[in-house]
Structure 1
Amino acid sequence: MSPEGSGGLWPSSARGGGMAGARPPRFLLVFDFDETIVDENSDESVARGRALPAALRHGPAGGSYNEHMRRVLAFLGEQGLRPAELRAVYENIPLAPGVAELFQFLSKHRQHFELVLISDANTFGIEAKLRAAGALSLFRKIFSNPAGFDRRGVLVLGPYHSHTCPRCPPNMCKGKILGEYLAERARDDAEFRSVLYVGDGANDFCPAGALRAADVAFPRKGFPMHRLIQESREKQPGAFRAAVVPWESAAEVARYLQELLRGEC
């Protein structure tokens, strides 16, 4: 599959230096979770089929979705949803098409890709699913809303951070998280030829919009991230700088990465 853009590099502070060929090529591969790694919104998976009061049956009307899910999880815990049952819900969420194949590819090529996950879900659910899929060890870092069980066995959800980005929900700006991670890794002298971002949602557009021309955005075809990229390119040609590779199956991402590695040889 061909990208819809090309060219360029990150600033020298983020791309590493030294002699060409001194180290294997290294790429930062960033994943979203809901409807990217898994084929559903995990919050909806938890609530599906459960009797919720009217105030919790729908998302917040103009309020914080993170706070809404905090109330949903508290209610379900108080109604007797136990940790083991909740873990099983997350473990059984189906992977998105082709994700198992993509994980197999990445497991074979660990030396070339550094993986991080940035998600507005929660740490408990993400780790449970990735562990069940045998993929948790692939990820160097998981950035998500903190979640842990209190003495009653209720999963308590918190916000990830606060920020000033007007585009993102109040509890998480993925663009800020990615920028801070790149700065941290640059201080560690990590060398990234490019950043590769795999996502689906509107909140993935913020970090994708900050990518450079050497980078690649992999939006799930027909989902909000893809539509926002298309709208941005129509309204402001050239403003979205990264190459764009839409996907229906994550196997398409794996094939693109395979070609990327061949091009580095």
Structure 2
Amino acid sequence: MASPCFLAVFDFDNTITNSDTFYTVHEHLHTGKMPEEAENACVATGNYMPYERLVFSSMSDKGVTRAQIRAVVESIPSVPGLEDVLRFLENGGAEVIFISDANSVFIQDWLDAHKLSHTVRRIFTNPAHYDKDGCLQVEDYHVQDTCQLSTHNLCKGRILEEYVRERAEQGIHFSRIVYVGDGENDMCPSLRLSEKDLTFPREKFSFHKMITSNVDGHGKKIKAGVHPWSTGKDIINVLQDFVNV
């Protein structure tokens, strides 16, 4: 079996979609105000899952339906050109995965609505489902306390390394890894890339600011080539030299 030319890894919120899916749903459908101490506790622990569960429970109590939530998620636009990037990579034989601190329901609903599910091989994110009462239940992807660059519930770097190892055991070896993200938790996986790899921080977002301010991962430096981007065209312009189209 021939290996894909490379592995392309994407964050989801503010990388594929042009806003954070949870906060967009919260803004459109949650009319009540959550206790301030609940959000403060999440900030302190680095895990927003308890806060999200409170919001979804409150929305369900107020009669917000699955259809309403899905409609909001589906309406979120992509970052300009990112849908083209996914199709470009599919046509070029690259393998695409998502590693995101969103949740499986939001990501799958959005991909289905935009007819892009076939472009993504695997999605690593917080598992979610609707219970019998129609309340969206979201679980932590895992629990970790070893990586200070990641949230308590999801270490993107660990997931990336485990996936590459898994594919190698299956006989799939990537010529390079490409990482595309926007947030502070995208620093961790980018630090695990090699000199032959590429990382794409979205311009003017926190990941890019960390790099330009030399605030890297606890003294560690990114070895991969760094290519800031604002639209999908910026990404394609760099990747076209590596994709077999």
- TM-score when scaled to structure 2? 0.90
Unaligned runs of 5+ residues in structure 1 are: 1-21
Q: What are the superposed Cα offsets for residues 162-213 of structure 1, whole Å, 9 maximum, x if unpaired? A: 1221221110110111111111111111020000000000011110111110
Are 1:52 and 2:32 an aligned pair? Answer: yes
Distance, in Å, in 1 between the alignment partners of 2:139 and 2:220 is: 38
Are 1:230 and 2:212 an aligned pair? Answer: yes
AA at the equivalent of 1:194: R
Name the SS of the counterpart of 1:196 in structure 2.
Answer: strand
Q: Which of 76, 81, 84 pairs up with 2:67?
A: 84
Distance, in Å, in 2 between the alignment partners of 1:206 and 1:26 is: 23
Distance, in Å, in 1 between the alignment partners of 2:167 and 2:119 is: 17
AA at the equivalent of 2:192: A
- RMSD between superposed Cα atoms in Å: 2.4
- Report the equivalent of 1:4: none
Q: What are the superposed Cα offsets for residues 73-107 of structure 1, whole Å, 9 maximum, x if unpaired? A: 11111211111111111111110111122133223
Are 1:138 and 2:136 an aligned pair? Answer: no
Q: Which of 189, 195, 201 pairs up with 2:177?
A: 195
Are 1:118 and 2:96 an aligned pair? Answer: no
Name the SS of the counterpart of 2:35 in structure 1.
Answer: helix
CA-CA distance at 1:227 after TM superposition:
1.6
Q: Which of 145, 150, 157 pairs up with 1:168?
A: 150
Whether the aligned pair in 1 keeps the contact of 2:14 and 2:182 (CA below 8 Å) is yes
Name the SS of the counterpart of 1:177 in structure 2.
Answer: helix
Whether the aligned pair in 1 keeps the contact of 2:191 and 2:217 (CA below 8 Å) is no
- Report the equivalent of 2:223: 241
Alignment length, in residue pairs?
Answer: 240
Distance, in Å, in 1 between the alignment partners of 2:222 and 2:71 is: 40
Distance, in Å, in 2 between the alignment partners of 1:211 and 1:232 is: 17
CA-CA distance at 1:52 after TM superposition:
1.9
- Report the equivalent of 1:6: none
Highest Rg: 1 or 2? 1
| CA 1:149–1:98: 2 relative to 1, 3 Å | same
Which contiguous aligned blocks of 4+ residues in structure 1 show a shift greater than 3 angstroms?
22-25, 56-61, 231-238
Distance, in Å, in 1 between the alignment partners of 2:103 and 2:218 is: 34
- Report the equivalent of 2:89: 106
Q: Which of 49, 61, 85 pairs up with 1:66?
A: 49
- Report the equivalent of 1:185: 167
AA at the equivalent of 2:31: A
- Report the equivalent of 1:150: 131
Unaligned runs of 5+ residues in structure 2 are: none
Whether the aligned pair in 2 keeps the contact of 1:233 and 1:240 (CA below 8 Å) is no
Name the SS of the counterpart of 1:260 in structure 2.
Answer: coil
CA-CA distance at 1:26 after TM superposition:
1.5
Distance, in Å, in 2 between the alignment partners of 1:201 and 1:176 is: 16
Bigger mean CA deviation after superposition, 31-40 or 248-257: 248-257
Identity over aligned residues, as a percent? 35
Task: Write out aligned runs for 1:204-223 (5 A).
Answer: 204-223=186-205
CA-CA distance at 1:255 after TM superposition:
2.1
Whether the aligned pair in 2 keeps the contact of 1:56 and 1:68 (CA below 8 Å) is no
- Report the equivalent of 1:28: 7
| CA 1:107–1:181: 2 relative to 1, 3 Å | closer
Name the SS of the counterpart of 2:208 in structure 1.
Answer: helix
AA at the equivalent of 2:53: R
- Report the equivalent of 1:19: none
